[in-house]
Amino acid sequence: MPEEKNSILFRLREQGAGSVLLLLAVVLLLAAFQPGVLHGRNMANVLAQSAIVGVCAVGMTFVLLSGGIDLSVGSVLALAGAVGAWSCKVLGLPVPLAWSVALLTGTVCGMLSGALVAFGGVPPFMATLAMLASARGTTLLLTQGYPLSGLSPSFYTPGWASVGPLPLSGLIFLALALAAWVLLRRTPFGIHLRALGDNPETARLAGLSAPRLTLAVYGISGTLAGLAGVLMVGRLWSAQPSVGIGLELDVIAAVVLGGTSLFGGVGGMGGTVAGVLVMGFLDNGLRLLELSSYVQQSVKGLIFVGAVLLDLALKGYYRKGRSRDA
Amino acid sequence: MDDGFLEMRGICKSFSSVPVLRDIDLSLRRGEILGVIGENGAGKSTLMKILGGIHQPTSGEIRSRGQRVCFRTPAEARSGGISLIPQEFNLVKDLCVYDNVFLGAELHGPLGMLSKKRMQRRTAELLAELGTDISPTERIANLSAAQKQLVEIAKALAFEAELLIMDEPTTVLTSHEVQILFRLMRRLKERGMSIIYISHKLKEIKAICDRVLILRDGEFVCEKPTAEMSLEEMASRMVGRELSQIFPPKRLPRPDQVPALEVRNLSVRGLLRNVSFSLAPGEVLGFGGLVGAGRTEVAETIMGLRRADEGEILLSGTPLKVRFPEDAVRAGVSYLSEDRQGSGILTGFSVTENVTLVSLGSYVRSLLGGSGSFFGLLDKSRERRSASHYRDLFNIRAPSLDARLEFLSGGNQQKVSMAKSLDTHPRVLVADEPTRGIDVSAKQEMYRFIADLAESGVSCIVISSEQEELLGLCHRVVVMRDGRIAGVLEGASLTEEEIMFHATGIREEAKAG
């Protein structure tokens, strides 16, 4: 029944407080077994390790909100990184230009998928699955399967440098998330996106252009995957053709853990940041606990399920007399 | 030009060479309310969608103040001053009221940032003009149907619409809310707003419209001032024949036997308090009251869609334990949902598949011996026989039994939904708003099915917001208010006034209506 809509609790829940609680729970749980999790240096480390998934997750949040899905981010990341590295090394482009080429590669890939969805009527799952395959193939063609290394060292900077104690890549992720939050909550674009994901018919009747929005959303996702590709090259000091395989699932999991619906309309950027950090802390903490990597995988699975159950419980799904629209 | 605020001339429209509108003329003056009536499939909605820029006419022209206009998109129609409020509201349920009011035309500052404060203030002004205190920052999902409608109207006002098209605006409203809406419509009209009002409820047309336009099978039938037309004339011009009697005669139930269904002290926290009633075999029991009074919740609790906190349900004297809907179905209770599109039918499934959806277990030819087992194969020919039985019984008009339900009209979809509910051979049928949004002749048929069903000994609960329906169809009527039973009416006390009195608790309101 109608709660006091200005109450702090209500606002928190609207803004994805569930995922923040989840983040706290995961961190505290890990810290209980391994206090090292809470050390400042370790936290900075988590932020650095989360940056790549995080940058992609920002883009994915847009895509999911609009009612789509982007399975291609892992492959696009690899392709963009390889194209960037190649244009730096082989074409000899100056580093900033090579970065731009990488980002642009991502944009083009994203907009190709977007165009298939928007104008071709291809379901997002299939359009981006096709991009997943062909971007990976193109990467392998370009690199002939070998890593590209020995670039001008400044190309790597965004992937590994720090600003004081904080990793540059992590700061890039947080800054992007903030910008995306503004875009989603404070501009017509954000409202239109959520309207499209919630109820496409309403959006159409309101005179919104679904194709243009769709194109923009996949373009953003692709561009950010391109940026993540640059970060990845910087972290590995080389462009690896097989990097980012399966990354899309981590990205989607992070966004959904952050409270964004897989079916569009519902969610936001605050939750995504929390979701990304949950994933980061999980990986980091389980590694610090020195569990075998097999056990790590299983524990991760359990925690995913637990997180979704917890979120549903917080939303009152299991309360007595639940209604059909719970 | 005779003050032609809006004129449609010779409008024709075909969908893949099937004509749905033939040579329709329509004219509208400023500050006039025009009723458009016709059975489902008569072309009302298509005509309105042409006006709203959703469809383009195949031929014919639209003139606004003598100027020829052409609306290629909803946005163009909107900037031409036309606002269409569809039956299923066009609101984004997860956004706030003010976001919806300004959707597609947000106010923003120089940097492209939303001017939230300005939009909220303007929305609050508009809502205040409409005489409601809905908060601009409330989420749509938390609003009632009547409130959503007000938001739609506020949206139209925000765009400075001069013509408001309302498609079946009252189907989701209670009679009290309808009166409020009508008062509002008269106020808008005095301000010079023109309104096109589409409805199946002829009484409402008579009450609110200046003129009425009747369509039948995509053709113009007549157009007259409402004052010159009786309800009977409207109905027969719509249907194209005399409607003898809408309601079948009531046959007396057999109240001396054990009640088919007895509900004792049913309570659901925050929704229902101490609801008790009983239903004789072959009785038609109506449930009246305002939307939100708890009528649907009673049905949902009986069906196991909600958990009861207290109370018991007896079926032919035996206590019924329902934890899930399938328990109720197995015990012989069937539910016809009020939300046909949402939960009543599967629009992507064929007629046959819909009819046998709930009773599918009984069509399995078991491989292990015995019947009703899920380890077996479906007897497709028996399914088809069943479906064709219902098609003949209910006069379901469908291209074939394999046609997907999305291609059927609302009335025929509802008949399929009814067939689905009956194919489990229930002892008790709970029908929630069984005639919502269907045309007069389909309604008449639904009434006959329910009466025949009762005659055959099945007990029926009919939840309805249409009082004539409760009066014409039911032996007794339970009126609910705020989750409680406010009164049970029968015999001489079963009148519209009494229903209103119990539903609202205000006798004056009933008289004013």
Identify the structural domains of chain B with CATH numbers, from first to last.
Answer: 6-239 (3.40.50.300), 261-512 (3.40.50.300)
- A186 — contact with chain B (CB < 8 Å)? yes
Q: Do A207 and B108 touch (CB under 8 A)?
A: no
Strands A166-167 and A162-163: antiparallel
Helix or strand holding residue B428 (H, E):
strand B428-432
Q: Do B306 and A323 touch (CB under 8 A)?
A: yes
Q: B55, B252 in Cβ contact below 8 A?
A: no
Closest by CA position to B419, among listed B343, B345, B331: B345
pLDDT at residue number A145: 92
Interface contacts A/B by beta carbons within 8 Å: 89
Q: Do B268 and A321 touch (CB under 8 A)?
A: yes
Helices (H) and strands (E) in chain A, counts: 14, 4
Q: Which residues contact A181 (CB under 8 A, 6 or more apart)?
A: A268, A269, A270
Helix or strand holding residue B311 (H, E):
strand B310-315
Distances (CA, A) of B487 to A211, B279, B342, B484, B499: 54, 15, 31, 9, 8
CA atoms within a 13 Å half-sphere pointing along the CA-CB vector of B178 = 24
**Widest pairwise Cα distance in chain B:** 79
Closest by CA position to B272, among listed B432, B499, B465, B485: B485
A205 contact residues in B (CB cutoff 8 A): 52, 54, 74, 84, 86, 90
Residue of B nearest to A5 (CA): B138
Q: Give all strands of the β-sheet with B476-481 in edge-to-edge order.
A: B333-336, B428-432, B459-463, B284-289, B476-481, B484-490
Q: What CA–CA distance (Å, rounded) separates B272 from B274?
A: 7
pLDDT at residue number B512: 43
Q: Do B92 and A2 touch (CB under 8 A)?
A: no
Q: What is the CATH code of the structural domain delimited by A38-314? A: 1.10.3470
Q: Of all residues in chain A, what percent carry a pLDDT higher than 90? A: 63
Q: Do B307 and A182 touch (CB under 8 A)?
A: no
Give chain A's radius of gyration (CA, Å). 20
A199 contact residues in B (CB cutoff 8 A): 90-93
Q: Do B135 and A5 touch (CB under 8 A)?
A: yes
Q: Do A191 and B270 touch (CB under 8 A)?
A: no
Report DSSP letters for B249-281, one per residue.
PPPP--TTS--SEEEEEEEETTTEEEEEEEE-T
Residue of A nearest to B267 (CA): A321
The amino acid occupying position B223 is: E
Helix or strand holding residue B504 (H, E):
helix B496-504
pLDDT in single tens digits along all 326 residues of chain A: 344 444 555 555 555 677 888 888 889 988 999 898 889 999 999 999 999 999 999 999 999 999 999 999 999 999 999 999 999 999 999 999 999 999 999 999 999 999 999 999 999 999 999 999 999 999 999 999 999 999 999 999 999 999 989 999 999 999 999 999 999 988 888 888 988 998 888 887 777 889 999 999 999 999 999 999 999 999 999 999 999 999 999 999 999 989 888 888 888 899 999 999 999 999 899 888 888 888 888 988 888 888 778 777 766 677 644 443 33
Which positions of chain B have pLDDT values less than 50?
Answer: 1-2, 507-513
B294 contact residues in A (CB cutoff 8 A): none
pLDDT at residue number A266: 81
Q: B160, B166 in Cβ contact below 8 A?
A: no
A263 contact residues in B (CB cutoff 8 A): none
Q: B354, B441 in Cβ contact below 8 A?
A: no
The distance of Cα B97 from the centroid of its chain, to the nearest Å, equals 23
pLDDT at residue number B301: 92
pLDDT at residue number A204: 78
Strands B6-15 and B59-64: antiparallel
Q: B193, B161 in Cβ contact below 8 A?
A: yes
Orientation angle between helical segments A73-89 and A210-236, nearest 10 degrees: 60
| DSSP state at residue B297 | H
What pLDDT digit, counting tens, does each position of A257-288 carry? 898 888 888 888 999 999 999 999 998 998 88
pLDDT at residue number B374: 56
Q: Which residues pair with B432 in a beta bridge?
A: B463
CA atoms within a 13 Å half-sphere pointing along the CA-CB vector of A83 = 28
- A182 — contact with chain B (CB < 8 Å)? yes
ipTM for the predicted complex comes to 0.71
Give chain B's radius of gyration (CA, Å). 24
Cα of A321 to nearest chain B Cα, Å: 5
Cα of A187 to nearest chain B Cα, Å: 5
B300 contact residues in A (CB cutoff 8 A): 323-324
